[in-house]
């Protein structure tokens, strides 16, 4: 997602999906994918917020810079700098766009900012009833849910970003957002246009927005066929075909890395991108590996949360794209994006006013 803007026109969609893979359609979950242990999202009380964590592509130089004056945010950045071996605050504040957009930098920077904002909200009494990441955002959710420590999360995002960058270089790919799309038609399109190459639905964003990923020529054929049918598409400025089989090398490397990582049971339910259901410690390794080659089910996750009573979503990160996607999925839900000091202060003031009523 690039400089998260409201998901409306083609430019907005291209920005909102950059370097993340999204898939949205009409079925809640593919028949072949089973929810984590058959678990269900617990009932969520009215008004209790769900934190959503922004995905790669939303990064922008200077993002969240005025929040670095807040103690909890500053402490998270300091922790990340120790783990990553670089000054993350300097990266966020001063890096040129080309440097920040590099997958190896964008993923850690966004993850650290999201965790920092979540920590300061929680320190002020805003406790999420559940957490939901968007692609990269699922890594941030691991820390906030309590499944990993902050240190382990930042080490994980470093390994993940490096593996994904290497896989993208070794297996070039492309991604394209298809508009006015439904899952059945996109499945048929991929089958027709693959011609022996990789071409798959990669992300479910919201009704009418599905992203496909695969070999550049296959994606180009899909775009041409979509245009012939009188529909529009938008090529995304990604460095690879994320959430597709072209990330298999990265998935294999991540599986090896995760052998040495221990997960705790989540203190706060984490809705898994792969299954749109709660993630357990026992399944974390498998699902985080599958995450790299499986579609992101954001729409289905929001729908599942809504069925469990969620009526308040707070995007914790930068740009506001996820909040705008929620608007297209569940128009009755309240939405907010906390990304800088003004939105942070405004959200706390609104929350305080609601509590006092």
Mean pLDDT of 202-210: 95
> Per residue in 311-345, pLDDT tens?
999 999 998 999 999 999 999 999 999 999 999 99
Copy the structure tokens of residue 146.
Answer: 């309590």
> Per residue in 228-285, pLDDT tens?
999 999 998 888 999 999 999 999 999 999 999 999 999 999 999 999 999 999 999 9
Rounded (10°) angle between helices 150-170 and 71-84: 50
Residue 168 and residue 122: Cα distance in Å, rounded? 36
Which neighbouring-strand residues pair with 234? 177
Residue 356 pLDDT grade (very low, low, confident, very high; cuts 50, 70, 90): low
Which neighbouring-strand residues pair with 132? 52, 271
> Per residue in 134-168, pLDDT tens?
999 999 999 999 999 999 999 999 999 999 999 99
Rounded (10°) angle between helices 71-84 and 103-123: 150
Order the strands of the 50-53 sheet from edge to edge.
Answer: 270-271, 130-133, 50-53, 312-316, 334-338
Global pTM value = 0.88
At a CB cut-off of 8 Å and minimum separation 6, what does 163 contact?
249, 250, 253, 254, 257
Which neighbouring-strand residues pair with 23? 203
β-strands 208-214, 174-181: how paired? antiparallel
Residue 34 pLDDT grade (very low, low, confident, very high; cuts 50, 70, 90): very low
Secondary structure of the chain in the HEC alphabet? Answer: CCCCCCCCCHHHHHHHHCCCCCECCCCCCCCCCCCHHHCCCCCCCCCCCEEEECCCCCCCCCCCHHHCCCHHHHHHHHHHHHHHCCCHHHHHHHCCHHHHHCHHHHHHHHHHHHHHHHHHHHHCCCCCCEEEECCCHHHHHHHHHCCCCHHHHHHHHHHHHHHHHHHHHHCCCEEEEEEEECHHHHHHHHHHHCCCCCEEEEEEEECEEEEEEECHHHHHHHHHHHHHCCCCEEECCCCCCCCCHHHHHHHHHHHHHHCCCCCCCCCCCEECCCCCCECCCCCHHHHHHHCCCCCEEHHHHHHHHHHCCCCEEEEECCCCHHHHHHHHHCCCCEEEEECCHHHHHHHHHHHHHHHHC
Per the prediction, the chain carries an average pLDDT of 89
Residue 62 and residue 126: Cα distance in Å, rounded? 25
| 287: annotated active-site residue | no
Among 16-30, 56-70, 78-92, whose mean pLDDT is lowest?
A: 16-30
Residue 282 and residue 279: Cα distance in Å, rounded? 9
Order the strands of the 174-181 sheet from edge to edge.
Answer: 233-235, 174-181, 208-214, 199-206, 296-297
Which neighbouring-strand residues pair with 235? 176
Residue 128 and residue 312: Cα distance in Å, rounded? 10
Mean pLDDT of 113-124: 97
Determine which one of 135, 145, 239, 343 is catalytic: 135
Count, residues in the chain = 357
Determine which one of 145, 233, 243, 294 is catalytic: 243
Which neighbouring-strand residues pair with 200? 213
Alpha-carbon Rg for the chain in angstroms: 19
| 291: annotated active-site residue | no
Q: What is the pLDDT of residue 39?
A: 75
């Amino acid at each position: 997602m690039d400089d998260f803007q409201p998901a409306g026109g083609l430019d907005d969609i291209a920005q909102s999906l950059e370097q993340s893979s999204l898939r949205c359609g009409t079925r809640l979950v593919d028949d072949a994918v089973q929810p984590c242990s058959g678990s269900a999202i617990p009932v969520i009380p009215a008004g209790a917020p769900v934190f959503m964590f922004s995905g790669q592509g939303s990064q922008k130089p200077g993002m969240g810079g005025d929040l670095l004056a807040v103690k909890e945010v500053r402490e998270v950045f300091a922790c990340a700098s120790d783990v990553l071996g670089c000054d993350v605050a300097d990266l966020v504040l001063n890096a040129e766009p080309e440097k920040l957009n590099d997958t190896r930098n964008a993923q850690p920077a966004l993850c650290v900012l999201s965790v920092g904002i979540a920590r300061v909200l929680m320190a002020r009494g805003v406790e999420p009833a559940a957490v939901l990441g968007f692609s990269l955002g699922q890594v941030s959710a691991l820390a906030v849910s309590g499944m990993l420590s902050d240190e382990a999360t930042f080490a994980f995002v470093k390994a993940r970003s490096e593996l994904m960058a290497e896989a993208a270089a070794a297996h070039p790919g492309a991604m394209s957002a298809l508009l006015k799309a439904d899952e059945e038609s996109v499945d048929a399109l991929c089958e027709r246009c693959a011609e022996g190459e990789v071409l798959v639905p990669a992300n479910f964003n919201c009704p009418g927005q599905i992203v496909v990923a695969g070999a550049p020529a296959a994606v180009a054929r899909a775009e041409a066929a979509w245009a012939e049918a009188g529909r529009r598409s938008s090529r995304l400025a990604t460095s690879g075909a994320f959430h597709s089989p072209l990330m298999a090398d990265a998935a294999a490397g991540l599986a090896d890395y995760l052998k040495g990582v221990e997960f705790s049971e989540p203190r706060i339910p984490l809705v898994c991108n792969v299954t749109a259901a709660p993630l357990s410690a026992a399944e974390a390794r498998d699902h985080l590996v599958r995450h790299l080659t499986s579609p992101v089910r954001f729409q289905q996750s929001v729908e599942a949360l809504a069925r469990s009573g969620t009526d308040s979503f707070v995007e914790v990160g930068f740009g506001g794209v996820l909040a705008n996607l929620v608007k297209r999925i569940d128009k009755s839900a309240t939405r907010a994006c906390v990304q800088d000091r003004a939105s942070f202060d405004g959200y706390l003031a609104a929350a305080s006013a609601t509590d006092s009523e």
